[in-house]
Structure 1
């Protein structure tokens, strides 16, 4: 479904692509990275980094229309890539385009590879109405006909999946898209796995002492999320748990920051920061914070699902009846992970969750995130070079551990300063 959003022409100036005679390097292939949202842009980075060092390939970026596009221009500015306005990108031929969302991809003049931008495919898309007429039925985001088919044709040339079981789900949702599907793996799963041995470094980066336990509160976006249901969970964790034994950190979905603004989020949480809350910066790597956690209090967002693989017990908050596909790994996690009850003391609930964590249910749901553990980089690079019709470099792919997480500082100029 296309969404009309004003294009930021003041940032993205048209670029002439026929300037080979002035170019320092003559490249053989042109790749377009299509960024709809900050979170989708972050996921695509895991793929395009696999082209690093190849002087045969020139990468361009563009911001696609999306209702959640706030923050994308700044994200692209930080990358320092060559950014084309959307109006130019859709009129230019590329050898390959990469995206991690689906809006307006049918307008591109390139074969498109679409990656998921979370852990699997868990959430439903809403029914779309035009007046009183239903124009798109409810379906699983990333697997539904609503996002994959346009004018009777499947739009992506490749639909990247993380697990073989998703093939069956895609076949139920959009069987004509099955020939385009390829099981590659999950880059975040692999990064978390290689980061686990460095857990002490991530804890130190967040200011957690050796004998303290870190409770990581993870909220996705929207009214059904942990924060969407109110501040009560954060407030209770900060006020009820003894500070000498526990540290509380909040990890918020980029849509929360981009919808309300960095200043506003810092302002809302300033009082809790004075009481010891660690606010994880959206400009750092979130994966290290997940590795550092001793307990995870989450909702139906992807981070809660990734937490199932780290060894930390997960307690669920947010809406219990969130719009999640009952056949997804997230639904399975929500079916057995204990719920944090607002009418009971927090401390014994955390203790009890540690006992329940010994169940093999966590390992089973973690195994549903990817059927190619540790192999995303190798398989994704092979896919990219096959579609680019180039021989892949002889160098071996390596999954790097997560960067150290950053905590929001309240003592910088222009910030909300705890008194």
Structure 2
């Protein structure tokens, strides 16, 4: 797939619209690229281009896209010179979107909007925090809504919005929920492709990024898992938030060295972490999206470093953090894994998957229909489908 600013030099074609995909970060890219593939599939009526808006974590995004044959329009050139050529923009973060004059469709880049907005250091009085990504300060600028459409996963997100903002919100479900649901039957195939020996069990460890997360709060855990669990019976795979690489750089590899030597494998930031999630016997996580997505699978869940104060009160994520058993530092790890898998423990959080999406299986069709409606062009006469999953090439060093 390839897109270039030079597409703007082509002559106008009747009935053809131009779309822009604004990719702020690598997590945004992994959310938006499958959506781009779905929208571009068999439909020449929309020509798509890409840009990288300002963001504190957008280092490496242009290279990430270039490695996939995607050229980008420089953000400053887009804003100052050529944005009038575009009829719609898709984004999964808010940075810079208020500079765009075209209709903007804003999607999420994780599960729901249930983390609390960051609280900055300072001398001012502390105020209540909004759900991250749904604060009025982000969604309204200079008396106008920044997005023409804000795409939400669940009706609970809609209820959290200011009444004025609900009019431009749409509940379409979650693409990752739909991908997991559609591929659960591939679990044994994925285990074979990931080289999980017959009879061995897979432990997936996931960390979000931020001042509180598994990686920072429980730095010893990956090493303990890879050295204390019997090597013949267990495999350990880590899913680390791409922002950890942005913050720690090569120090991340140094910190992982002894765990790699003991057998740890890591999912590359640009590859399908959903595959090992479906294949897992246990998932150990923090308050990030991956643990919540894991409720859709057959895996047993545990928490390690769940930062309750970083999650908005009363949300499904906050509830999940109170129901999933914690992995403590003072007990044998295998004993805790086995204990957490007891049916009565798993039953505590089994129903929490229902809070991830109000439109399971409908995201692709709903979003494609909305995009074509905004553009005023007919949809292609083929079903809307997200691309399939690919087996990640696990890193061992």
The answer to whether the superposition gives a TM-score over 0.5 is yes
Match among 169, 191, 197 for residue 179 of structure 2:
191
Q: How does 1:5-404 map to 2 (within 5 A)?
A: 15=5, 18-21=8-11, 28-52=16-40, 53-91=42-80, 92-93=83-84, 94-127=86-119, 138-170=129-161, 174-261=162-249, 263-356=250-343, 359-404=346-391
Q: Secondary structure at the match of 1:46?
A: helix
Over 3 Å counting, the alpha-carbon distance change for 1:227 and 1:18 in structure 2 is: closer
- In structure 2, C-alpha distance between the alignment counterparts of 1:132 and 1:409, rounded to whole Å: 45
Over 3 Å counting, the alpha-carbon distance change for 1:85 and 1:26 in structure 2 is: farther
Over 3 Å counting, the alpha-carbon distance change for 1:242 and 1:162 in structure 2 is: same
Question: Is the CA contact (8 Å cut-off) linking 2:306 and 2:321 kept in structure 1?
Answer: no
Deviation at 1:78, TM superposition (A): 2.2
Deviation at 1:127, TM superposition (A): 4.2
Post-superposition CA distance 1:268-296 (Å, at most 9, x none): 21211111111222232111010111000
Unaligned runs of 5+ in 1: 1-13, 411-419
Q: Secondary structure at the match of 1:342?
A: coil
- In structure 2, C-alpha distance between the alignment counterparts of 1:399 and 1:62, rounded to whole Å: 22
- In structure 1, C-alpha distance between the alignment counterparts of 2:378 and 2:5, rounded to whole Å: 29
RMSD in angstroms over aligned alpha carbons?
2.2
The structure whose residues are more often helix, as a share, is 2
Question: Is the CA contact (8 Å cut-off) linking 1:127 and 1:134 kept in structure 2?
Answer: no
> TM-score w.r.t. structure 2 length?
0.92
> TM-score w.r.t. structure 1 length?
0.87
Post-superposition CA distance 1:51-73 (Å, at most 9, x none): 22211211111111011111211
- In structure 2, C-alpha distance between the alignment counterparts of 1:134 and 1:39, rounded to whole Å: 33
Deviation at 1:139, TM superposition (A): 1.4
- In structure 2, C-alpha distance between the alignment counterparts of 1:134 and 1:58, rounded to whole Å: 48
- In structure 2, C-alpha distance between the alignment counterparts of 1:193 and 1:223, rounded to whole Å: 32
1:417 is aligned to none
319-328 vs 32-41, which moves further: 319-328
Question: Is the CA contact (8 Å cut-off) linking 2:285 and 2:306 kept in structure 1?
Answer: no
Question: Is the CA contact (8 Å cut-off) linking 1:205 and 1:405 kept in structure 2?
Answer: no
Deviation at 1:19, TM superposition (A): 2.1
Question: Is the CA contact (8 Å cut-off) linking 1:141 and 1:147 kept in structure 2?
Answer: no
Question: Is the CA contact (8 Å cut-off) linking 1:136 and 1:146 kept in structure 2?
Answer: no
Post-superposition CA distance 1:19-65 (Å, at most 9, x none): 224x9x87711111111111012112232222222112111111110
- In structure 2, C-alpha distance between the alignment counterparts of 1:384 and 1:346, rounded to whole Å: 48
Post-superposition CA distance 1:175-207 (Å, at most 9, x none): 321101001010001111111111122222322
Question: Is the CA contact (8 Å cut-off) linking 1:160 and 1:181 kept in structure 2?
Answer: yes
1:8 is aligned to none
Over 3 Å counting, the alpha-carbon distance change for 1:408 and 1:27 in structure 2 is: farther
Q: Secondary structure at the match of 2:19?
A: strand
Over 3 Å counting, the alpha-carbon distance change for 1:128 and 1:137 in structure 2 is: farther
Deviation at 1:356, TM superposition (A): 4.5
- In structure 2, C-alpha distance between the alignment counterparts of 1:177 and 1:78, rounded to whole Å: 38
Deviation at 1:18, TM superposition (A): 4.9
- In structure 2, C-alpha distance between the alignment counterparts of 1:103 and 1:113, rounded to whole Å: 13
Over 3 Å counting, the alpha-carbon distance change for 1:136 and 1:336 in structure 2 is: closer
How many residues are treated as equivalent by the alignment? 390
Over 3 Å counting, the alpha-carbon distance change for 1:272 and 1:234 in structure 2 is: same
